[in-house]
Amino acid sequence: MAAGFFISKAVGITAIVLGVGAVATIIALSVVYDQEKNRNAQSAATTTTATTTTTTVAPNNTWNQWRLPKALVPVSYEVTLQPFLTPNNNGMYIFTGNSSVVFFCNESTDLILIHSNKLNYTMQGSFHTSLHPVDTSTVPSITNTWLETTTQYLVVQLSSQLQQGQHYRLFSIFTGELADDLAGFYRSEYVDGDTKKVVATTQMQAADARKAFPCFDEPAMKATFAVTLIHPSNLTALSNMPPNSTRQQEIDGEMWNVTEFQVTPKMSTYLLAFIVSEFESVQSQSENVLIRIWGRPTAINNDQGSYALQVTGPILKFFESYYNTSYPLPKSDQVGLPDFNAGAMENWGLVTYRENSLLFDENYSSIGNKERVVTVIGHELAHQWFGNLVTLRWWNDLWLNEGFASYVEYLGADQAEPSWNIKDLMVLNEMYTVMATDALTSSHPLSFREDEINTPAQISEVFDSIAYSKGASVLRMLSSFLSEEVFRKGLQSYLHTFAYENTVYTDLWAHLQQAAVDVALPTNVTDIMNRWTLQMGFPVVTVNTLTGDISQTHFLLNATEEKRPSDFNYTWIVPVTWITNVNRTENTYWLTRATENNELFKISSPNWLLLNLNVNGYFRVNYNQENWDLLLNQLNTERQAIPVINRAQIIEDAFNLARAKYVNVTLALNTTRFLSAETEYMPWQAAVNNLQYFQLMFDRSEVFGVMSKYIRKQVTPLFYHYGNLTDNWTNLTGGLMEQYIQITAVSTACSYGVPECQSLATDYFLKWKSNTSVNPIPSNLRSAIYCSIVATGGEEAWDFIWNKFKEATVVSEADKLRTALSCSPHPWILNRYLQYTLDPNEIRRQDATSTINSIASNVVGQPLVWDFIRGNWRTLFTQYGGGSFSFSRLISAVTQRFATEFELQELERFKADNEDIGFGSGTRALEQALERTRTNIEWVKENQGTVLAWFDAETRTS
């Protein structure tokens, strides 16, 4: 499953200049918190929710355990569902269904537990279900059934034991709500002209197949599925497999289509999918695989599915070769949904996406949208083998599933777009992003113990950046030191051995070790990788070129925080690659202890040493001051002598070393001096990303004035350089990196107040207003220009962009407009916008939390969002559910500026006030926010004066 949010590179770095009244307004609004919180608490106390009856039982009973017993194993399901796409007399959308599951009895038992959540059952006699023979002529009678709502089981007690080695069949008839909660079998809506259209669709991962039908809902409980959908004859039904037949049948006086699908291969419940809709498709054939891209008819007819269709075939062929395994199914359907919680979901043969992750419109979508489409398709198609064909046994090893797909998505995208050099972007997009979290003591290892992950909320919490981005980074490092060829060989052996089965992560290490028999390693693959997967964090490798000493320590932003113990004492087995300015041949040195010495690292001036070539290793690098000075001198005189990706690394490492007090903050700032001459994307983006932390810490202080002046000085040459190359921003062409640096030039220049850039935005706005049917802004620049328009244009501009958002028919365009609306400097406008996020008629439910996060990134909006979240936490938690993947992002976004003792106290109070409600999948993010805040407080106290003096000195003569 791909991560849920796509944040524009331009909007993500936008700074907002406050009006003089903003601070006073923020202070006045803060008193609203207690009143609003009390109101919501009172209204919640008077609301009751109907629940299915459950028995009162002792906590040690089997049905009070979150994990299924191993006595029964499913073999095959037959599932028939009939969704009703118009509301019933009570105004509710529902579906009806029946299912039977044939299961095998591993151990004699008189108890059947099967997952069920929010389903109402048609009683069969006195019981919720019925039991039937398969192998034998008799079965035990049922003595009692009930729904155990806490652990989400249908419990069936029997008069005698099921016999070991026998098969049985359990049959159920049920009704469920086709809700708009984005989970299980749910309802998505869109407007076509003036008509509301309803789609019945699914999202089963991680634990929501049980909302669609009773099932053994754990990934190791693989079975086959025969799905039948009953649907209106004018709609199309899709499932994992092609249809076997479609017939018409009269039901309650109406004619319905009954579509029976081919039986699936053996697979996990979380990969099952079915959709009933008016969607249309474009299609092609890749050898014997039918490829179809589905979406709203308007989108498909406007050619928005063509790019996805163009890249899917090459990516599928690449993975067939990469895995040395044919695609296991006869078709690959990919569907863009108007409402979808994640970024995409790898359902086997029926992949579902947010529209912005699948559909692409040449007239509206940016190069960033294009990258998003091809990488997400790469991610989901990678899962069709790694995850679907071979599946991890339990969610504690999710990191291997999602981390692997997050790594090879770049390989698949590179196959589809070979001119982009997209593989290098992994360093910025994945590694450096996740290192910020992994440098906290509240981080966690990649792999959990199986008994640590039990509840649905705990499972959802595992879907975090550590699993996706650290997993990808560590596997990239592994592939690098083994070689891509050896990595692939071991991977192919693993897939062939465990096809249609379940594994644990050590199974992959064993097969990679077999493939690596001729690779020189300091120890075996398992020993090396255990250091990276079973302990949290990563090392900083420090080398002294005067002595040749090299050492490693656990890199933490705040080393005084208490951290969890490690069996490896936080030492790693580190593959250190290196070059010098006189020896450009890449060499590798294995650092296996805390401190070592390597004579080859003794280098005298004017020669320099550079570690972690191409940033293949998941660690930071520190040097003695003399080597730092030589590297900085190289950047300032002839930067091309250092590879582009390592120019970004020098900036990234220096800034983070300064935050962790390994080096002085002035050294980090000195790494940005060469940027006035730099024209490459990766160094610039690394600088912008790291200066954003300075913005967050100082945009409410005097530092931000001189900081903005310095950034304007550095970015203005870049703005002019690409303005000239693009004929004043009218011809934004070139490769991926070239287009991205053009976007960075405009977004940075506009957000930090370069007059020529703001004039560019104003001119575009005036042209657009004069002819509202023609948008003159190049699609690549829209995120940045829209934000500048809203930031400087007042209420008129906000209303104009809001109306364009409501009119938008291309989701990538709507996303840009929706995000830009958070750029307003006016508190009353932002407060009104916040209220819109609670109304799905204004902001789609799937977009609510990302909109709130965008408002929180605005210095004016952040305190408003903080009050809003505190006052509405119960509503938000109830509406979006504790298992929502977005809660961790929400908490992180609203607290990212916290750097005072008062804000720390408020955050601690928020935690205490809401212990009764809980924080669901945001629980760990809250602990990380507390740690970040304590770290920020100390860092700002120690560095604010130094930072102010440095920026002042750099800008005094300019």
Q: Give 445-499 as a DSSP string.
A: -SS--GGG--SHHHHHHHSSHIIIIIHHHHHHHHHHHH-HHHHHHHHHHHHHHHT
380 is catalytic: yes
- The answer to whether the peptide bond before residue 606 is cis (omega within 30 degrees of 0) is yes
- Is residue 672 scored above 50 in pLDDT? yes
Instruction: Give residue 922's pLDDT band: very low, low, confident or very high (50, 70, 90).
Output: confident
pLDDT tens string 375-412 = 999 999 999 999 999 999 999 999 999 999 999 999 99
What does DSSP assign to residue 630?
H
**So what's the pLDDT on residue 88?**
93
Segment 142-152 shows an average pLDDT of 97
> How far apart (Å, rounded) are the C-alpha atoms in residues 15 and 703?
14
Instruction: Give residue 872's pLDDT band: very low, low, confident or very high (50, 70, 90).
Output: confident
Segment 890-903 shows an average pLDDT of 93
Of 505, 507, 566, nearest to 538 (Cα)?
566
Other Cβ atoms less than 10 A from the Cβ of 277: the count is 25
pLDDT tens string 705-737 = 999 999 999 999 999 999 999 999 988 888 999
Other Cβ atoms less than 10 A from the Cβ of 73: the count is 15
H/E segment holding residue 802? helix 782-807
Both structure tokens of 455: 């509840």
pLDDT tens string 96-120 = 999 999 999 999 999 999 999 999 9
Of 526, 504, 529, 509, nearest to 392 (Cα)?
504
**So what's the pLDDT on residue 958?**
52
Instruction: Give residue 58's pLDDT band: very low, low, confident or very high (50, 70, 90).
Output: low
**So what's the pLDDT on residue 4?**
53
Amino acid at 457: A
Q: What is the largest CA-CA distance in the chain?
A: 95
Within 13 Å of residue 427, how many CA atoms lie on the same side as its CB? 28
Average pLDDT, the chain: 91
pLDDT tens string 680-711 = 999 999 999 999 999 999 999 999 999 999 99
| Catalytic position from the list 260, 380, 461, 678 | 380
Both structure tokens of 361: 């419109």
- Is residue 920 scored above 90 in pLDDT? no
Cα angle 951, 953, 958 (rounded to 5 degrees) comes to 90
Segment 920-933 shows an average pLDDT of 87
* 624: phi then psi, degrees, rounded to nearest 5: -65, 155
- Is residue 33 scored above 70 in pLDDT? no
H/E segment holding residue 368? helix 367-383
Give 92: exposed, middle or buried? Use CB within 10 Å, 0-12, 13-18, 19+: exposed
Q: How big is the chain, counted in residues?
A: 958
SS3 of 722-767: the string is HHHHCCCCCCCCCCHHHHHHHHHHHHHHHHCCCHHHHHHHHHHHHH
- Is residue 252 scored above 70 in pLDDT? yes
- Is residue 582 scored above 70 in pLDDT? yes
